[in-house]
Amino acid sequence: MKQVKVYGPGCKRCETTEKMIKDVASRLGVDVEVDKVTDMAQIAKAGVMSTPGIAVDGKLVHAGGLPDETKLEAWLK
């Protein structure tokens, strides 16, 4: 199971990013656990300077704007 964290204040882009992750994981048949991190101190500690940020299995893979679906597929495989 992939552990995915979405870093952001809970804005529309953050919600869309979470939905995209779940949709891509479902399409790929990958089990994911998605945690939303909204605490600004934790977001900064993770090194996210622009939200939404995405970490997969503890590694920050994206920050700022909506992720590309092709990249999401690669991160979740």
Show which residues are catalytic.
11, 14
Q: How far apart are CA 46 and CA 67, in angstroms?
A: 18
- How many residues are given for the chain? 77
> What's phi and psi for 39, nearest 5 deg?
-75, 120
DSSP code at position 46? T
